[in-house]
Amino acid sequence: MSEVTLLVLDAKPPPRLGRLTGRARVVHADEASLAAQLPDADVLLVWNFTSDAVRRVWPGDGPRPRWVHTASAGVDHVLCPELVASDTVVTNARGIFDQPIAEYVAALVLAMAKDLPQTWDLQRERTWRHRETQRVAGTRACVVGSGPIGRAIERTLKALGVITALVGRAPRTGIHGPEDLDRLMARADWVVCAAPLTDETRGMFDERRFGVMQPSARFINVGRGALVVEEDLAQALSKRWIAGAALDVFEHEPLPPDSPLWEAPGLIVSPHMSGDTVGWRDELGAQFVELYERWEAGRPLLNVVDKKRGYVPGR
């Protein structure tokens, strides 16, 4: 068997691939050089998972890698019609971010329920102002997205005593279908979006959906920015249709300084960090090496994406 060429679309810091020394020819590319190097690669590791360079250059001339792995849960930044139609296998980082994101969502729920942002603001002002806060146990949550991240969020919120309903692409045991979403949102104190970005889900949280929610409800998005019509969310907050929101993902990242979202009342903005705990890059690198060893041995890959659906099928 000829030497395998592993092409890495770089980001800093680079992945630790020492276990592959002598087993693959590892070459590196940036967004500018990816197109020229892609035809010579057997495997592509998309380490720079914020880049859409793969989508842009995949339709070019020449052969293409047999396997593409992205070091992220979402795959919308790599999929394009030509890649979907090809026989190239696509895998993702399913399993790495589940519990960290669930913990982050729980932290946001507690912070909003206990009014921690105002507590910090008042502390900076040296103002003593007693308030009453919300009890979390007994509230209701609607979690949209029934993949591993959504299920981890469901488990973690249930541990806080939150009555949680999970909504997926199709109804099955323990999971509601899309037809139940509006009804569940109308009763929820917390609406949490952890859905993949597909043609069906793009812009699903819009003016109509925010109008369905209770005035006391909060919205949290840890899925993909384009799932939300951001102008409609800003309007819902400014008109007090909902009580608050937290966004960790945005349609355009970094969020531009002139975005009205920075000043939307009741909105917590965080820079796409909900899954990034200490050591997360090492976990991503180790996961890829384990997948590579399966591929090298001719064993079935894990985390294989259904390219037409845009995610890894699960229960």
The one catalytic residue among 94, 151, 209, 224: 224
pLDDT number for residue 314:
80
Residue 224 designated active-site: yes
CB 249 within 8 A of CB 221: yes
What is the rounded distance in angstroms from the CA atom of residue 136 to the CA atom of residue 228?
Answer: 25
Residue 77 designated active-site: no
5 CB burial (10 A radius; 0-12, 13-18, 19+):
middle
- Name the stretches of the chain with pLDDT < 50: none
pLDDT number for residue 1:
53
Element (H, E) at 220: strand 218-221
The one catalytic residue among 251, 272, 283, 296: 272
Backbone angles phi, psi at 307, to 5 degrees: -65, -30
The one catalytic residue among 253, 263, 290, 293: 253
81's tokens: 């019609």
CB 129 within 8 A of CB 297: no
Residue 202 designated active-site: no
